[in-house]
Chains A and B, each alone.
Chain A
Amino acid sequence: MSFVRDTYLVETPPPGMNVGVLGWLRGNLFSSASNTLLTLFGMYVLWTVVPPLIEWALLDAVWQGSGREACLVEGAGACWAFVAAKFGQFIYGTYTFEERWRVDLAFLAGALTVGLLMIERMPGRRYIAVFGLLIYPVIAYILLTGGMFGLPEVETTLWGGLLLTFVVASVGIVVSFPLGIVLALGRRSQMPVMRVLSVIYIEAWRGVPLITVLFMASVMLPLFLPAGTNFDKLLRVLIGVALFSSAYMAEVVRGGLQAIPRGQYEAASALGLGFWQANLLIIMPQALRLVIPGIVNTFIGLFKDTTLVMIVGLFDFLGSIQVNFSDANWATPQTAATGYAFAALVYWIICYSMSRYSMRLEARLNEGTRRA
């Protein structure tokens, strides 16, 4: 007698411990004794950091008030009222009150340009880039300094806060871009003199800390110029920052140039293109596409480094927060911590979103070479 089974058995579900939330927990957190220990340690770290932080920043925080009394309550956490009261100064510094709309306008135009540039399928993206690099700086300069077209002049000594941070960082990156390209070409040049000069320039700037460059710009630069030339402090710092970051930019651009195969140069020569034609029409468009993530990373570094202008006496975002700690009306034990927390949050949001963007760009650029 024989028996042939002609129906399948009903599938039994996998053991409950291996699927769903339980399975995930077991696989990722409690797979072995040592793993369990690690998880417990991680939970302990979370437990010591997160609840006190939430308590300080949210639950016990003081949100409203017009002076220190509000924040001097027993057991008070962060003094956000301080940030609210000084918000205008943190953003504009001591920029003339009635003229602050000009800063807003410049911010807005800049944000719009950058925003449009980030949309990949934007028609006429190239023209927007040219506008951003060439025309926008002029408009922003006229708007911010004034003194023409009926706009009253606002001296740069009044500039401060986030405005100054953005001015220093964007001028640094925009000016260093052409300089960096020239230096990168120089470093790869066949002519020994050009190569040596570029290498000396790049390595010398990269070898010293920015703070000494700023000292140099604010103390030595006036000595270099003919006697009697009077010099804006902000302009001195901007020159220092631009020279410094052009060395870093040169290395970023050089990385892009190195990624272009020789065949491209040879093909350009075969077509009868000269040095500048080949570089402008064939090499640079390809190389610069490759280095956009690197440029964004340089910008992040520069953005963080703008805080150093505080040491030579300019009040950037961090500087104008710091200077308000000495306001007797807001002297509480929590003022400094609150101010720094606010500054950290703002810097973090800006830098983190830029780094995410650069990572996404990098992934997109690598799409062709990635394997499934």
Chain B
Amino acid sequence: MRTQAFWNDPRIRAWFFQILAVLVVGGFIAIIVTNTVDNLNALNVASGFGFLQHTAGFGISQTLIEYSESSSYGRAFLVALLNTLLVAGIGIFFATVVGFLVGIARLSPNWLVARLATVYIETFRNIPLLLQILFWYTAVLSNLPAPRNSLEIGSLLMNNRGLYLPAPVGEPGFGFVVAAFFIALLGIVFLRHWSQRRRIATGRGLPIMWPSLGLLFGLPLITFWLAGAPLHFEVPELRGFNFVGGLRAIPELLALVLALSIYTAAFIAEIVRSGIQAVSWGQSEAAQALGLRRTQILRLVVIPQALRVIIPPLTSQYLNLTKNSSLAAALAYPELASVFAGTVLNQTGQAIEVLTITMAVYLGLSLLTSAAMNFYNSRIALVER
């Protein structure tokens, strides 16, 4: 065998290039770090995460947990994080509902409805999200009447200070109703399990839907009545120039939720449509041939297969929505990007620490979601022969 020159050995080459890559990247990072340290020393900026304990000294317009100007930056971070999760949670809920409705409407045999759904999708996904947020905030919500002339929709009140809802207030004894609800949920799980076992043993299951619904609504309602209706609604009242009491959603939150859910719903609708179309006709026909009813075909054959296609891109849309909630920085809705990467960064000047924390939070959310997604995918992946 002819001896090879050592630089032609692929393994040695691979080692060489990898060591080179590590050196280049390491050197690059080292240069950046030394420069940064020099610059920070020259600027006299404090470093480290000690600032999280310092007093923040600024107010936040929407706080889900207790917070005042004398709270610490760490507390402000928590408030901002919760506000991000709040807007993401509400946005995801509405985006999913609207997205599924529009996606199904797009496949409707009704020509008009299908066309309307297409127009919705093509309109909203081709307009930048930031533009939509600003539009709702500046052009729509700010032009609503003052509190005195609020628009009333049932018991909802809309004005230029936000949306007011009656707040449910539980009295002692309401805990029983909540407990009853969870007991009902447990009962339904048990019922399904039992029915499945009987079906396997005897070939005939128990009716599930009506007993489940009865349990879900009946048990809490009966408890509610037995406990003496321990719940009342606190209705917002006009005092002076503003409303007091009730639940209030600030206009920034409304604009964000509206824009985020309308925008993301357009993408979800397309995902739902392609998911349903991915289930071939043969599946439904085979199910019909086996004698399944229409609802059974949908529930047992079509939906599970469509979900397999729908769920991975759907979660990535949820993630996009969460990341896009950072556009609130343009509106001063107090979430992570605007409170922490905005106000806190300006006050402390500790750009590196603040931005690292902010990016780490979003990155953590993304990685968690994709880990969950990978787990789900490995569970539902087609088992092939």
Q: How far is the CA of A322 from the CA of B327 in the complex (A)?
A: 16
Question: In the bound complex, do residue A38 and residue B18 qualify as a contact, i.e. CB atoms below 8 Å apart?
Answer: no
Query: Which of A109-117, A171-179, A302-310 sits within the interface?
Result: A302-310
Query: Which of B89-97, B187-195, B294-302, B356-364 sits within the interface?
Result: B356-364
1/0 contact string of A193-233 vs chain B (CB within 8 Å) = 11001000001101111011001100110111111000000
Tell yes or no: A191 within 8 A of B by CB.
Answer: yes
Count A/B pairs, Cβ under 8 Å: 148
Tell yes or no: B6 within 8 A of A by CB.
Answer: no
Q: Considering the complex, give the chain A residue whose CB is closest to the CB of B136.
A: A340
Question: In the bound complex, do residue A45 and residue B116 qualify as a contact, i.e. CB atoms below 8 Å apart?
Answer: yes
Question: In the bound complex, do residue A223 and residue B22 qualify as a contact, i.e. CB atoms below 8 Å apart?
Answer: no
Q: Which of B113-161 contact A (CB under 8 A)?
A: 113, 116, 122-123, 126-131, 134-135, 138-139, 143
Minimum C-beta distance from A31 to chain B (A): 7
Which residues of the partner chain B approach A355 to less than 8 Å between Cβ atoms? 126
Count chain A residues whose beta carbon lies closer than 8 angstroms to a beta carbon of B. 56
Minimum C-beta distance from B22 to chain A (A): 6
Question: In the bound complex, do residue B14 and residue A190 qualify as a contact, i.e. CB atoms below 8 Å apart?
Answer: yes
Which residues of the partner chain A approach B39 to less than 8 Å between Cβ atoms? 222-223, 227
Q: Considering the complex, give the chain B residue whose CB is closest to the CB of A207.
A: B366
List 14 extra interface pairs beyond A29-B112, A219-B351, A300-B126, CB under 8 A: A31-B109, A35-B110, A197-B25, A207-B363, A207-B367, A208-B363, A219-B355, A223-B351, A224-B35, A307-B128, A308-B130, A343-B131, A347-B128, A351-B127
Among candidates A193, A220, A304, A311, residue contacting B22 with C-beta atoms closer than 8 Å? A193
Q: Considering the complex, give the chain B residue whose CB is closest to the CB of A201.
A: B25
Question: In the bound complex, do residue B135 and residue A344 qualify as a contact, i.e. CB atoms below 8 Å apart?
Answer: yes
Question: In the bound complex, do residue B355 and residue A347 qualify as a contact, i.e. CB atoms below 8 Å apart?
Answer: no
Which residues of the partner chain A approach B130 to less than 8 Å between Cβ atoms? 307-308, 310, 318
1/0 contact string of A310-335 vs chain B (CB within 8 Å) = 11000000100010010000000100
Q: A39-B113, A227-B42 are in contact. Are A311 and B329 (CB under 8 A)?
A: yes
Count chain B residues whose beta carbon lies closer than 8 angstroms to a beta carbon of A. 52
Interface of A is mostly: helix
Which residues of the partner chain B approach A215 to less than 8 Å between Cβ atoms? 337, 341, 345, 355, 358
Q: How far is the CA of A39 from the CA of B25 in the complex (A)?
A: 62
Question: In the bound complex, do residue A216 and residue B36 qualify as a contact, i.e. CB atoms below 8 Å apart?
Answer: no
Which residues of the partner chain A approach B264 to less than 8 Å between Cβ atoms? none
Which residues of the partner chain B approach A311 to less than 8 Å between Cβ atoms? 327, 329-330
Tell yes or no: A183 within 8 A of B by CB.
Answer: no
Minimum C-beta distance from B15 to chain A (A): 9
1/0 contact string of B97-112 vs chain A (CB within 8 Å) = 0000000000011111
Tell yes or no: A28 within 8 A of B by CB.
Answer: yes
Among candidates A43, A212, A219, A336, residue contacting B326 with C-beta atoms closer than 8 Å? A212
Minimum C-beta distance from B258 to chain A (A): 14
Q: Considering the complex, give the chain B residue whose CB is closest to the CB of A344.
A: B127
